[in-house]
Chain A
Amino acid sequence: MTGISDLATPVLMGILLGGLYVLIALGLSMVFGVMRLINVAHGDLVILASYLAFFAMSGEIMRHKLAFGSDPLLSLIVVIPIMFGIGYAIQKFLMSRAFEISMEAPLLIAFGLSLVIQNTCQRFWTPLSRRLITPYALESISLGSVTLPQMYFLDFIAAVVVVLLLREFLNRTYLGKAINATSQNKRAAHLMGVNTGRVYGFAFGIAMATAALAGVFLGLTFPFTPTSGVSFLIIAFGVVIIGGLGSMLGTFVGGMILGLARTLGGYLLDPAAQTLILYLLVLVVLAARPQGIFGVKRT
């Protein structure tokens, strides 16, 4: 039964799934690259965006049902600015001070945030598993012998578009160049007249804007619960570790590798062990090359 044609489904699925992983990891990578902060609340912030879109779609909150409904993709018009604001506020009011306290302070504050976000989502939208169900999220596309949910293709397209846009933004606009400069040498950037405090705020905000996109596409593709965040944090971290810092191409390759590891591992070994294989891969890469496969060790 096993042949090349049988492998086509998991391979294609893995690559497309990798797109979603890239989308989730972009925000973590940006905050990590610019501020040297591993935002352990990243997964929960992505899930928060999923819930905001869920709220916009169903109007459900704390056992009440408000009378409105919007398409999840349309709701991004509101969800992206909200998430940007949250990101900016986290940097401005929490992280900027935390860095001056101690090495572990930003990490512990991020843990506090994660606890608050998880339990707020649980209060507002119950611990039940939710999903953003729309007509286009339920359709499938066939390519030859392979049939996959349409959302997988949309995830991949979204990832490519966002990565390209982000790259152009970082290379061409003043703010983008300022973010790049600050991540390379904060002091030098400051001396060149860059308002580094504000750049940090914008960088965190942009990271959360990509998290908003990731959250909505995630919710359209998979079911989520308030505690799903940890799992996506590990995946995003794996993508960043494999891809290395500051490399968009690396991030993309990292996403593909984890996506393929999941689907191929599930196909060749045991479908139930997909997540375990993924986590073990992240752990092995982390232990073997903490600076990443494509990354260069930065001091």
Chain B
Amino acid sequence: MRFTIPGFGKGTIPLVAVAVVLAVLPVVGIAQRWLLYLLLFFVYLAIANMWNLHCGYSGLITMCFPAFIGLGGYTMVIAAWVGIPIPLGIIAGAMVAVLFALLISFPVFRLGGVYFAIGTLILPEVMKQVFLLWRPVGEGAVGKGAGYMLKGATAFSLGDVYWMALAVGIGSIIAMRFVLNSRLGLGLAAIRDNDKTAASSGVGVFRLKLYSFMMGAFVTGLAGAIYYVRQAYIEPVSAFSISWSMTAIIAAVVGGLRTEQGPIVGTIIVVFLHFLLARYPGYSLILQGVILIAVMLAAPQGIVGVIDRLRGIRVHRATLRLATSIADRIKGKGNM
């Protein structure tokens, strides 16, 4: 399996420069419309990055991101309802998503490959049913469950929410870099390539997968909570909708699984299509489905993968590094 892992230092300066430019955009008075596009871009980017971490690097075809996103959003909204400040609620939302991930990891990690995908696919549907039946606080307008308005949403301007989204988006890129350059990333790559060999080489398969799973839950939970600060309204059907997973899959796959830049490129395409075809809602999704199928068949390595190949950068560095780390271990220096 070939994939690229750029050094941690490489590209740090451009990343910081881009982040600074993006951060001052609301101050210099960019059109609200553009802020909105970018906000959505960062939320989707964080989710796509985490899907790349799971499917591309950890061998987990995770389909339960909508559960993390919905839980993040609901926790934040309910926290605001009982008087907890929204920024604290966002953190709480991410923590609840992580707790949920921890709770479900024991049953779902028993499932391999495609079974894992189906097992996790059921979870958002379960949460949707739970929140359709259960109204944790306050009286519903009609019946049980139903939606919540976010109390105190007006205290945050579009610029404020934009900054939060920017932080999560850039944060997810840094997190990916950190993981890929750590022993965690190497262990995960080993698990993905062959979990039995990895286990017999002393990689803690369950533990590493769990770290990756919980990290995904934290970031998507955070992104979900921030998204619902902007929406200022949450209801179960869209919060736990499978379309969150679809967006993540399309962005990661079209851009390029197992590449660091892939989700960025893929998310740009998804957001671009979303707004370009905003007046014809169904067609954008039909087109995205067709693109996903076409890319999967014609160029499964995605756009960035194809570009890398064209440029002749076929780095085996990760495999090499894994071999070195195992060698270190044998010498008694390493501790994976």
CB of A40 closer than 8 Å to a CB of B = yes
CB pair B246 A111 closer than 8 Å? yes
Q: How many residues of B contact A (CB 8 A)?
A: 39
CB of A122 closer than 8 Å to a CB of B = yes
- By a CB distance below 8 angstroms, the chain A residues around B282 are 119-120, 122-123
Closest approach, in angstroms, between the C-beta of B196 and any C-beta of chain A?
14
CB pair B126 A279 closer than 8 Å? yes
- By a CB distance below 8 angstroms, the chain A residues around B55 are 104
Kindly identify, within residues 276 to 309 of chain B, every residue whose CB is under 8 Å from any CB belonging to chain A.
Answer: 282-283, 285-286, 288-290, 292-293, 296-297, 300
CB of A113 closer than 8 Å to a CB of B = yes
- By a CB distance below 8 angstroms, the chain A residues around B297 are 94, 97-98, 101, 109
> A93: nearest residue on chain B (CB-CB)?
B297
Cα distance A100–B135 when bound, in Å? 47
Cα distance A116–B253 when bound, in Å? 16
- By a CB distance below 8 angstroms, the chain A residues around B290 are 112, 116
Kindly identify, within residues 105 to 141 of chain A, every residue whose CB is under 8 Å from any CB belonging to chain B.
Answer: 105, 107-109, 111-116, 118-120, 122-123
CB pair A287 B125 closer than 8 Å? no
Query: Given A115-B246, A276-B133, A287-B111, do A234 and B122 touch, yes or no (CB 8 Å)?
Result: yes
CB pair B115 A290 closer than 8 Å? yes
Query: Given A103-B113, A113-B289, A116-B289, do A287 and B296 touch, yes or no (CB 8 Å)?
Result: no
- By a CB distance below 8 angstroms, the chain B residues around A40 are 117-118, 121
CB of B2 closer than 8 Å to a CB of A = no
CB of B242 closer than 8 Å to a CB of A = yes
Kindly identify, within residues 269 to 299 of chain A, every residue whose CB is under 8 Å from any CB belonging to chain B.
Answer: 270, 272-273, 275-276, 279-280, 282-283, 286-287, 290
Cα distance A282–B108 when bound, in Å? 12
Digit string of B93-137 for contact with A (CB within 8 Å is 1, else 0)? 000000000000001101111110111011101100110010000
Q: How many residues of A contact B (CB 8 A)?
A: 41
CB pair B126 A283 closer than 8 Å? yes
CB of A175 closer than 8 Å to a CB of B = no
CB pair A108 B249 closer than 8 Å? yes
- By a CB distance below 8 angstroms, the chain B residues around A98 are 296-297
CB pair A38 B117 closer than 8 Å? yes
Which positions in B face A, CB cutoff 8 Å?
Answer: 55, 61, 107-108, 110-115, 117-119, 121-123, 125-126, 129-130, 133, 144, 242, 245-246, 249, 253, 282-283, 285-286, 288-290, 292-293, 296-297, 300
A-B contacts besides A101-B300, A234-B125, A276-B130, 6 pairs, CB < 8 Å = A103-B114, A107-B114, A108-B249, A108-B292, A111-B246, A270-B133
- A sample of 29 cross-chain residue pairs with beta-carbon separation below 8 angstroms, ordered by A number, consists of A38-B115, A101-B300, A104-B55, A107-B114, A108-B253, A109-B292, A111-B245, A111-B246, A111-B292, A112-B292, A112-B293, A114-B289, A115-B246, A116-B286, A119-B282, A119-B286, A120-B286, A234-B121, A234-B125, A276-B133, A279-B125, A279-B129, A282-B122, A283-B123, A286-B107, A286-B111, A287-B108, A287-B111, A290-B112
Which positions in A face B, CB cutoff 8 Å?
Answer: 38, 40, 94, 97-98, 101-105, 107-109, 111-116, 118-120, 122-123, 230-231, 233-234, 237, 270, 272-273, 275-276, 279-280, 282-283, 286-287, 290
